[in-house]
Structure 1
Amino acid sequence: MAPPVLVLCRLAPDTLAEFADRFRLLDFYASALPIHAFLAAVAADGDPPRVVLVFGGAPIRVGAELLDAVPSLRCIITISAGLNHIDLTECARRGVQVANAGGIYSADVADYAVGLLFDVLRHVSAGNRYVRRGLWTERGDFVPLGSRIGGKRVGIIGLGNIGSAVARRLEAFGCVVSYHSRRRKEDVPYAYFPSARELAASSDVLVVACALTAETRHIVDRGVLDALGERGVVVNVARGANVDEAELVRALADGRVAGAGLEVFENEPNMPPELMAMDNVVLTPHQAVFTPESMADMRRVVVANLEAFFAGEPLLTLVE
């Protein structure tokens, strides 16, 4: 019999079909039960699952509540790179293994971050709206002028897989890259700043690419935004709560920063309505990771982790 896998994340039909060929899926989103009733039924199954697939938008956070509800679980596999929806301490205490997506999304998210930066600096989306509204023929050339990306001082918060990929791409455009992270990295050529505020003060652009932890929640606050200054641009491809959204809205409205490219938000899919009316802000619906290539990589990594777990072998992307 195929081993059971608890599924607490929405998966595309083709992904579900591929997984269903190998495993017995206990899919919450295919059930009409409320989450706690569903988990109770899963726990009472004659062959309860030892592994669960989750994502940041799962209906229940991975922690003591879930592990108490389904005590058979011994492995958490998240299809995201981020881990802020998982209580790693509780999992470690109970001997539950955790695997994430590793670096499979890094290239696509880095591409997207650079695209957002180009859009904000060169007013691509704003220009598109201008043309579609018929304003080019009615009013003439679009203003204000965009800004060149080459030579910009780009500060990156979080020089992990994604931040490093952003840095390499922007170096090719002639940008001067520096960074802030938990610790200095000895093997990179970029200048290191011990705080986000110091990094912002030496940057024209701030790219947020760090994990969301207690220490990085609102790491971009009013002080950092003021240090970035009135010509500065913020690009966030990390998590919405890495940026103090209310302070960013105020800074944009007051002209204390010049623009923003935002892929993530604090309370998705909701966002401050003030952002909708700002032509110097580019808003996208948390879609940077979604390409056919990255989805194929995700399926490959998830299947490899599941097969490794059931074979008693090391997980491919074990979080340690």
Structure 2
Amino acid sequence: MLITWSGFTSVGGMNTDLVDALPVSLKVIGLPHVGYDHFDWEAIKKRGVIMCNSPGMSDNDVADIGLHLILSTYRSTSLFESTLRSQKNAALARRVVLNFDQDTGRADPGNEPMDPMKYVHGHRVGERVVTSPAGQRVGIAGFGGIGRALAKRLHVLGMTIHYFKRSQLSQKELKSLEGIPLVRHESFESLAKESDVLVLALPLSSSTRHIVNDKTIGILPAEARVINVGRGPLVDQAALLRGLKSGKLSGAGLDVFEHEPIIEEELLSRYDVTLLPHIGACTQKAVERALINSLENIKNVVVDGGHGIHPI
């Protein structure tokens, strides 16, 4: 069975009832993506069905989106784009951000004429100074293919790379990162304390659900940023909003969401959050690679009598 990207999402995923209805002849399920948290894996396994996913097919594509989100949170590009579209004037767009409201995440131009002496070149948003990512510490939680691809990009920007991964990197993985100084952390909490920008590239499990919450936001450095290119429920979005309103967080970049495909109105209305509709892996080449990999997984089981190239 080849399951496409949207397969079974409209009915809440492949749960136990659906698994029980699968034909006894089914031997293998091929997924053209990495995540499988919306599949009842235990029930599938009990049926003796092999399920394979497609890891590594879009690591660079997701890392590109991660890089975009990080740059946006540092340079406040979503906010500046919104003011430019509303003001229709480049000079006014830069000045309006001085009226940034921390509580709403918006820059209200107000009804009064702006003070001509309060000119700004884009180096401030409200009382906050706009900074470059160079020299900042990025903490990458989940240092698989996506995390390592992102580390290479951020090293070029001059960022210090910290990461959390339960297992040690292999010699092959270390060689691919040769020349990039790395700081490994033994725990997620240790990583958070050292992360000016925290990037989530983790799978979703019972131990990682809401791994970003009020407690972890509290131990992040002042004015930290949170980026999620992993799975939506890694972040407690209510806690994220509290962090933004309080000023503890200076921004966030999200390609995935806790209640996807529904996005909370409060997130949509804030311009200190850069939002993308889960497009990290969505390039034509990545789609082709994932589909070919899925078919090769199925062939390995059905034709060659194997256990799949990428069995879960």
**TM-score, normalised by the number of residues in structure 2:** 0.80
- Counterpart mapping for 1:107-256 below 5 A: 107-133=60-86, 134-138=88-92, 139=95, 141-142=121-122, 143-144=124-125, 145-185=129-169, 187=171, 188=174, 190-256=182-248
CA distance in 1, matches of 2:204, 2:77: 29
CA distance in 2, matches of 1:9, 1:234: 26
- Match status 1:95 vs 2:48: yes
Q: How far apart are residue 211 of structure 1 and its match?
A: 0.3
* Contact 2:78/2:273, CA 8 A, preserved across alignment: no
Tell me the matched-pair count: 272
Structure showing greater relative contact order (alpha-carbon pairs closer than 8 Å, 6 or more residues apart)? 2
Letter in 2 for 1:312: D
* Contact 1:97/1:318, CA 8 A, preserved across alignment: no
Q: How far apart are residue 235 of structure 1 and its match?
A: 0.5
- Match status 1:281 vs 2:265: no
CA RMSD between the two structures: 2.2
Give ranges in structure 1 of 5+ residues lacking alignment. 11-53
CA distance in 2, matches of 1:8, 1:186: 32
Q: How far apart are residue 107 of structure 1 and its match?
A: 0.9
Deviations 1:158-198 (A, max 9, x none): 11111111112212222111112333436446222222222
Residue identity over aligned pairs, in percent, reads 32
Residues 87 and 7 of structure 1: CA distance in aligned 2, closer, same or farther (over 3 Å) = closer
- Higher mean alpha-carbon deviation, 249-258 vs 64-73, is at 64-73
* Contact 2:3/2:30, CA 8 A, preserved across alignment: no
* Contact 1:178/1:192, CA 8 A, preserved across alignment: yes
Aligned partner of residue 163 in structure 2, secondary structure: strand
**TM-score, normalised by the number of residues in structure 1:** 0.78
1:71 alignment counterpart: 23
Give ranges in structure 2 of 5+ residues lacking alignment. 96-118, 175-180
- Higher mean alpha-carbon deviation, 165-174 vs 189-198, is at 189-198
2:99 alignment counterpart: none
Which of 3, 14, 18 is the equivalent residue of 1:62? 14
Aligned partner of residue 258 in structure 1, secondary structure: strand
CA distance in 1, matches of 2:5, 2:228: 24
* Contact 1:196/1:220, CA 8 A, preserved across alignment: no
Q: How far apart are residue 87 of structure 1 and its match?
A: 2.9
CA distance in 1, matches of 2:307, 2:147: 25
CA distance in 2, matches of 1:247, 1:305: 40
* Contact 2:34/2:53, CA 8 A, preserved across alignment: yes
